[in-house]
């Protein structure tokens, strides 16, 4: 995961505090172990997009403005598709800085050090859930047998159940609620399941 304090969310539009516990105190949110300084955000985007300047230019604004598309929470995970590649951006960390993963088809969500999106929240397991990408049908979420469960739009997922995500879906892992956003900068069409 790559982080940029330079590109952190505008504090005038959203609260700058970390997610709250049920008692109201701020809870530190984990930063993935591969966190780096601002130049690495662009470096990772160039690597993810095969150094295609036009694609980087097309995708940088949706990454920088993703939080403006959150309607129910201040936190998000954004799935980004460019041609046949996919990666994630998120602001789920103590600094609310934008973080970007490398391209892949599966990202772990949880408290563990090997998770692409580290979430140090009550009720979140080390490897709580997996966010996956299928080039034909898009992003889907799977609970990995966590005690606290994985919820999408108020419905609990059964362990190992695939749930294909839509832009704006509300996800709950433990005490953390966040929105899933999607951004495509390709011309392919996903087929409904």
User: What DSSP string describes 127-185?
Assistant: T-EEEEEETTTEEEEEE-S-SS-EEETTEEPPBT-EEE--TT-EEEETTEEEEEEEEE-
Q: How confident is the model at residue 56 (pLDDT cuts 50, 70, 90)?
A: confident
What letter would DSSP give residue 69? Answer: G
The 10s digit of each residue's pLDDT in 116-133 is 999 988 899 999 999 999
Instruction: Mention every residue, 6+ apart, whose C-beta is less than 8 A from residue 190.
Output: 136, 137, 138
What is the Cα–Cα distance from 59 to 7, expressed in whole angstroms?
14
Strands 76-82, 98-100: pairing kind: unpaired
Phi, psi of 53 (to 5 degrees): -60, -40
The mean pLDDT value of the chain amounts to 79
What is the Cα–Cα distance from 135 to 131, expressed in whole angstroms?
13
Lowest mean pLDDT among 19-23, 59-63, 69-73: 19-23
pLDDT of residue 42: 84
Q: What is the CA radius of gyration of the chain?
A: 16
Q: In the predicted model, what is the mean pLDDT of residues 46-67?
A: 88
Q: In the predicted model, what is the mean pLDDT of residues 168-185?
A: 94
Does the pLDDT at position 19 exceed 70? no
- Across the beta sheet with 176-184, the strand order is 2-4, 98-100, 85-90, 76-82, 176-184, 170-173, 150-152, 155-156
Strands 117-118, 106-110: pairing kind: parallel
CA distances from 117 to 70, 92, 120, 127, 189 (A): 18, 8, 10, 10, 27
Q: How confident is the model at residue 76 (pLDDT cuts 50, 70, 90)?
A: very high
What letter would DSSP give residue 99? Answer: E
pLDDT of residue 178: 97
pLDDT of residue 49: 87
Does the pLDDT at position 16 exceed 70? no
The model carries a pTM of 0.76
């Amino acid at each position: 995961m790559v982080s940029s304090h330079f590109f952190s969310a505008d504090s005038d539009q959203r609260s700058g505090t970390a997610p709250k516990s049920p008692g109201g105190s701020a809870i530190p949110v984990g930063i993935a172990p591969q966190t780096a300084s601002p130049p690495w955000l662009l470096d990772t985007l160039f690597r993810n997009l095969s150094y295609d300047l036009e694609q980087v230019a097309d995708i940088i604004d949706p990454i920088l403005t993703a939080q403006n598309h959150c309607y129910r929470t201040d936190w998000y995970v954004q799935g980004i598709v460019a041609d046949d590649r996919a990666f994630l951006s998120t602001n789920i960390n103590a600094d609310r800085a934008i973080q970007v993963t490398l391209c892949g088809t599966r990202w772990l969500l949880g408290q563990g050090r090997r998770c692409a999106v580290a979430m140090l929240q009550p009720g979140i397991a080390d490897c709580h859930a997996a966010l996956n990408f299928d080039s034909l049908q898009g992003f889907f979420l799977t609970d990995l047998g966590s005690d606290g469960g994985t919820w999408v739009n108020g419905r609990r997922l059964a362990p190992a159940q695939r749930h294909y995500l839509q832009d704006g879906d509300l996800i709950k892992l433990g005490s953390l609620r966040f929105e899933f956003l999607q951004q495509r900068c390709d011309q392919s069409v996903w087929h409904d399941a």
